[in-house]
Amino acid sequence: MRETVSGLPRPFWWLWTSTLIIRLGSFVAPFLVLYLTAERGYTASFAGFVAALFGAGGAVASLVAGVLADRVGRRATLLITQVAAAGLTAALGFASTPLLIAALACAAGAASSASRPVVQTVMSDVVSPKDRVRAFSLYYWAVNIGFGIAAASAGFLSSYGYRWLFLTEAAATLLSALVLAARLPETKTRSVDAGEEAVEERGTGFRTVLRDRPFLVAVGLSFLLIMVFQQAAVGLPVAMDGSGLTPAQYGLVMSLNGILIVVLQLPLGRRLERLEPGRPLVIASLLCAGGFGLNTLAGGAAVYAVAVVVWTLGEIVHSPVNMGLIARLSPSTARGRYQGVHALSWATATMAAPLCAGVVIDRFGADALWAACTVLGCCAAVGYWALLLRKQDRRRTPTTGHHGRTTRRTAWRAHHAPSPHTQPTPNTSPSEN
C-alpha cells in the first residue's frame, strides 16, 4: 500500500479527497427516474426524458469546461462548476412543475459533469507521466468506493424523503468546492514535467484537437469499450430477467464488479504503471469482448457471475491506462480541451448505449447484443494494436521540424521509445529552453 500512495504530490491528494467527497454524495443521478415515477407520480417516459436531459447537459458541459480550464484556469473552473452544481441540485429537489424539473435537470447535469474533465486535467498537470497510471488507478478506486457507499446508503436516506438525496448531494458538492478553494493551487501555468514528450502547441483550439489523429483514434476506441461496459447496467438486467433470474440475483452478480475493483484496482495499478499502454489496452479489450461474449452461454446466475469477473478485469486495466494515454497525448496548453473531448465521448457512449441495446434486444434478442459487444471489443483490441503496439517496431528518436520545434507526429513516435522509468536524455533544442 505504501508503494501505491507514496510519491504523489499534495495537490493530487486534495483533488482525490474532493472526488471521494462528491462520490459519497452521488445520490441524484441513480435515483432520479425512481424519484420522478415513485415519489412524484410522473410517467416512465417523462422520467426517461428528464434522465436523458441530465446526461445531455453533461455532454455539452464537458466541452465548455475544457475551454474554460484552458482559458480561465483549472481551479476557477472547478470552483464555479461545483458551486453551481450544488445550487442547481438542491433546486431540482424543490422543482414542482414538469418544465422546471426538465430545465433544472439539464442544468444540474451540466454543472455536475463539467468538473470531471477538469479534475483529470489537473491530475495530468500535477502528476508526472511515470506516475499517472497509478494516480488514475487511485482516482478510479475512490470513484467506485464512493459510489458504492452512496448506492448502499441512498435507500436508507430516501426513507426520510427523497428531497434529502438532493440536499445531501448538494452539501457534499459544496464541501468539495470548499476543500479545493482552501487547498488546491492553480495548475494551468505549470510547466511540462521532466520526461514528458514535447509537442508542438502553436494552435490550441478545437480545430487543433480535431486534427490530432492519434488522439481521435484513442478517443474512438475508448468510445467503443464504454459502449460495451455500459451494457452491464442496460442489457444485462434485461437478459437476466429473460433467463428467469430475479433483480436480487442481478444485484448479487453485479456486486462482484465493485468488490473486484476495490480489491484489485490498487495492486494492479502498481504493476500497470511499469508498462507501456499498448499491451494492457489490447488485453483489456479482449477481456471485455470475452466477458460479455460469455453471456451468450449463460442460463443461470453462475455463468453471468463468471462473465462479470472477466469483463471487470478488463475494466480495471482499461480505465487507468486509458486515462494515462489520453493525458500523454494532450499538450499542456490545450489539456482542458482534450479532456473535454474525451469526456464528451464518454457521455455520448453513455447515452447511446441504452438506445442501441433496446433496439438490438427487441429486434434480435439478447444473444445478438452480446455478439455485438464481442465484435466491438475485438475491434477495439485491433485498433489499440494498430495505434500503439505496431508502432513499437518502428521506434525512432524524435526529430525537430521547422524552427527547432518537435512536431506532434515525431512526438507521437517518440513517446513509445523510452521506458517510463528511464531517465530522459537532456534535450537542448530551442523548444526545451
State pLDDT tens for residues 326-344.
Answer: 988 988 878 888 988 998 8
Confidence of residue 416 (pLDDT cuts 50, 70, 90): very low
Q: In this structure, what C-alpha cell is assigned to residue 66?
A: 475544457
pLDDT for residue 205: 67
Q: In this structure, what C-alpha cell is assigned to residue 344?
A: 464528451
Angstrom distance (rounded) from CA 19 to CA 146: 8
Angstrom distance (rounded) from CA 34 to CA 252: 20
Q: How far is CA 151 from the centre of its chain?
A: 19
Position 264, amino acid? L
**Is residue 273 pLDDT above 80, yes or no?**
no
Of 199, 208, 178, 200, nearest in space to 67 by CA: 208
Q: Cell match 486534495: residue? A: 14
Q: Cell match 455485438: residue? A: 372
**Is residue 426 pLDDT above 90, yes or no?**
no
**Weakest mean pLDDT among 171-185, 248-262, 311-325:** 248-262
Angstrom distance (rounded) from CA 240 to CA 358: 14
Report the pLDDT averaged over residues 140-146: 88
DSSP codes joined into one string, 217-247 = HHHHHHHHHHHHHGGGTTHHHHHHHHTT--H
Of 148, 145, 289, 281, nearest in space to 227 by CA: 289
Angstrom distance (rounded) from CA 345 to CA 351: 10
Residue positions counted in the chain: 433
Angstrom distance (rounded) from CA 325 to CA 219: 10
Angstrom distance (rounded) from CA 165 to CA 145: 18
Position 413, amino acid? R
Domains defined for the chain, CATH in brackets: 7-186 (1.20.1250.20), 206-393 (1.20.1250.20)
pLDDT for residue 390: 65
Residue 151 burial (CB < 10 Å; 0-12/13-18/19+)? middle
Q: In this structure, what C-alpha cell is assigned to residue 106?
A: 439539464
Q: In this structure, what C-alpha cell is assigned to residue 236?
A: 444485462
Confidence of residue 187 (pLDDT cuts 50, 70, 90): confident
**Is residue 410 pLDDT above 50, yes or no?**
no
**Is residue 404 pLDDT above 60, yes or no?**
no
Report the pLDDT averaged over residues 271-280: 85
Torsion (CA) 349, 351, 357, 360 in degrees, nearest 10: -90
Give Cβ neighbours of residue 129 (< 8 Å, ≥ 6 apart): 193, 195, 196, 327, 328, 420
**Is residue 215 pLDDT above 50, yes or no?**
yes
Per-residue pLDDT tens over the stretch 64-89: 898 898 888 999 999 999 999 999 99
Confidence of residue 196 (pLDDT cuts 50, 70, 90): very low
Which region holds residue 121: left if phi is over 0, alpha if psi is between -120 and 50, else beta?
A: alpha
Radius of gyration for the chain, computed over Cα atoms and rounded to the nearest angstrom: 22
Q: Cell match 497525448: residue? A: 329
Query: Per DSSP, which regions of 117-160 are E strands?
Result: none
- What percentage of the chain reaches a pLDDT higher than 70? 85
Angstrom distance (rounded) from CA 377 to CA 286: 6
More confident residue, 318 or 129: 318
**Is residue 401 pLDDT above 50, yes or no?**
no
- Give yes or no for a contact between 408 and 212, defined as CB atoms under 8 angstroms apart: yes
pLDDT for residue 429: 35
Q: Estimate the crossing angle of helix 74-92 against helix 44-71, to 10 degrees.
A: 160
Angstrom distance (rounded) from CA 106 to CA 122: 25
**Is residue 17 pLDDT above 80, yes or no?**
yes
N- to C-terminal Cα separation, the chain = 38
Of 355, 210, 204, 381, nearest in space to 291 by CA: 381
Which one-letter DSSP state was computed for residue 417?
S
